[in-house]
């Protein structure tokens, strides 16, 4: 930042290299905060028509950086709210920023969207949101959404957050952050178009990923017997005359090992090269190749060893039912039960059938504050298996091919996200430098 209170980004489009430096101003100079109401998200109609209502949870989980009402599904406001009590300024306008004012995750606190297209529909900023409106229209519509996602501004917002378990941010504290922007709206538009193009590409790749997942889900419904059935709807030709599948307990087809955790008070147990799997490591990828926490050889010697290519199943906690396979020998914490297949049973098939039945298995835990399936209950779960190992392997191979495609597609998306992250760091200034 120079004496004129202006800055410049590291990366600039050629036609703007000789342009003036960017402005930097407190958010309060650019935006004013408009009163909102804590409306519920009931999907009901109002007498005066449909009035949509954005809840903070929608910002966290549903919407991208730029909000176009024609592309997004939004709940309607509760009709018990007297409409005459809703002030005109409380309705969103194009160019408004809506911030989520609370989150348990620091990475999400103050997450925002910019309203870019309302299509003449009414929209309200509802429960746990803050509505900011431009004072002098210094920012082109479509630029603000990307700007408030830029690394420096996100860091500033996170630094202003307050709270312990649940982090919150107020309009007053948001007003403290510094906002930077080029005066030339053509440069704003160029940046917005570049980043939006990348977002559109990422969204298209996400649609391909979801299509692959849906295809796999449909295929599994055909390849495994439905509830109450003894043969699948779709069977490979060479196994059509092999009779019914046989119901067996998990404990009879695999050795089941409940993990354990070496003492965290002994530093010597940790920060080595041995994988230590916990539920946080089991996400969308099938194979575990690295873990958030690692063990030393000493720490690993104090665990129950899980052979490579076993099946890991989360049996305690909010992610109960998640399933994965370990590429390498590992240990797990006590929230996981691992299945080491007996001779005659395919590890890949066991993974697939557990994935297919994961929701049903998770329901065994019941509705408790901390859901749990103990080893005894888990071992007693009955699933249907084909009599021949060859059929298990054929099904597993078919689904593994799809999993490989899903993994490749997910990697493409992660690469795009990393590319955008790097691009954002260059296109927006770091005002701390």
- Could you tell me the residue ranges of all domains in the chain? 21-181, 246-385
Task: Give the pLDDT confidence of 114-156 residue by residue, as tens digits.
Answer: 999 999 888 888 888 899 999 999 999 999 999 999 999 999 9
Cα–Cα distance for residue pair 153/151, rounded to 1 Å: 6
pLDDT at 52: 80
CA distance 273 to 48: 63
Instruction: Indicate the burial class of 392 (C-beta count within 10 angstroms; 0-12, 13-18, 19 or more).
Output: buried
Helix (H) or strand (E) holding 206: helix 185-223
- Quote the CA–CA distance of 10 and 19 in Å, as a whole number: 14
Report yes or no: 135 and 31 within 8 Å, Cβ to Cβ. Answer: yes
Q: 234 exposed, middle or buried (CB, 10 Å; 0-12, 13-18, 19+)?
A: exposed
The whole-number pLDDT of residue 395 equals 97
Q: According to the model, what pLDDT value does residue 2 have? A: 42
Calpha distance 36→40 (Å, rounded)? 12
- Whether residue 359 contacts residue 296, with contact meaning beta carbons closer than 8 Å, is answered with no
* CA angle centred on 429, ends 198 and 134, rounded to 5°: 80
CA 308 to chain centre: 28
What is the predicted pLDDT for the residue at 3? 40
Q: What is the pLDDT of residue 220?
A: 97
Q: What pLDDT does 40 receive?
A: 58
Which run of H or E residues covers position 185? helix 185-223
pLDDT score for 1: 41
What pLDDT does residue 392 have? 96
Rounded to two decimals, the pTM is 0.84
Residue 409: other Cβ atoms inside 10 A: 18
Domain 21-181 identical in fold to domain 246-385: yes
Strand partners, 324: 312
10 Å Cβ neighbour count for 164? 5
pLDDT at 43: 45
Q: Where would I find the H helices in 272-388? A: 297-301, 347-356, 358-362, 375-379
Q: How far apart are CA 228 and CA 244, in angstroms?
A: 12
User: What's the token pair of residue 249?
Assistant: 């307990």
Nearest Cα residue to 223 out of 362, 357, 344 = 357
CATH architecture, domain defined by 21-181: Alpha-Beta Complex (3.90)
Hey, which CATH number is domain 246-385, 1.10.390.10, 3.30.70.120, 3.30.70.1560, 3.90.220.20? 3.90.220.20
Low-confidence ranges of the chain (pLDDT < 50): 1-3, 43-48
Phi and psi torsions of 148, nearest 5°: -80, 0
Q: How far apart are CA 382 and CA 38, in angstroms?
A: 47
At 168 the three-state DSSP class reads strand
């Amino acid at each position: 930042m120079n004496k004129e209170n202006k800055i410049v980004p590291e990366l600039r489009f050629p036609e703007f290299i000789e342009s003036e430096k960017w402005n930097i101003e407190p958010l309060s100079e650019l935006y004013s905060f408009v009163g909102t109401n804590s409306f519920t998200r009931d999907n009901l109609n109002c007498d005066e028509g449909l009035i949509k209502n954005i809840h903070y949870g929608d910002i966290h989980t549903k919407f991208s950086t730029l909000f176009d009402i024609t592309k997004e599904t939004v709940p309607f406001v509760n009709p018990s709210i007297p409409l005459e009590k809703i002030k005109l300024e409380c309705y969103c306008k194009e160019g408004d920023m809506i911030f989520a004012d609370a989150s348990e995750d620091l990475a999400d606190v103050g997450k925002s969207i910019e309203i870019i297209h309302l299509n003449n529909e009414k929209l309200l900023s509802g429960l746990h949101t803050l509505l900011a409106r431009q004072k002098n229209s210094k920012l082109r519509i479509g630029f603000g959404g990307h700007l408030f996602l830029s690394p420096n501004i996100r860091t500033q917002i996170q630094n202003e957050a307050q709270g312990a378990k649940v982090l919150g941010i107020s309009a007053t504290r948001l007003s403290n952050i510094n906002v930077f922007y080029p005066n030339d709206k053509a440069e704003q538009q160029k940046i917005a178009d570049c980043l939006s193009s990348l977002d559109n590409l990422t969204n298209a790749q996400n649609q391909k990923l979801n299509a692959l997942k849906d295809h796999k889900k449909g295929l599994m419904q055909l390849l495994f017997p439905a509830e109450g059935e003894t043969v699948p709807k779709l069977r490979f030709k060479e196994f059509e005359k092999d009779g019914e599948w046989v119901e067996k307990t998990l404990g009879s087809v695999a050795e089941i090992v409940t993990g354990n955790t070496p003492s965290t008070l002994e530093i010597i147990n940790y920060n080595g090269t041995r994988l230590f799997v916990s539920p946080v490591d089991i996400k969308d990828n099938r194979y575990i190749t690295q873990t958030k926490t690692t063990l030393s050889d000493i720490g690993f010697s104090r665990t129950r060893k899980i052979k490579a290519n076993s099946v890991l199943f989360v049996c305690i906690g909010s992610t109960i039912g998640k399933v994965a396979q370990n590429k390498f020998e590992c240990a797990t914490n006590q929230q996981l039960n691992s299945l080491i297949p007996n001779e005659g049973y395919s590890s890949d098939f066991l993974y697939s059938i557990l994935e297919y039945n994961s929701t049903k298995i998770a329901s065994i835990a019941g509705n408790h504050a901390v859901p749990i399936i103990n080893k005894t209950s888990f071992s007693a779960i009955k699933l249907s298996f084909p009599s021949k190992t060859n059929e298990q392997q054929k099904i597993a191979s078919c689904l593994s091919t799809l999993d490989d495609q899903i993994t490749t597609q997910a990697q493409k998306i992660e690469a795009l996200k990393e590319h955008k992250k790097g691009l954002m760091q260059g296109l927006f200034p770091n005002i701390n430098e």
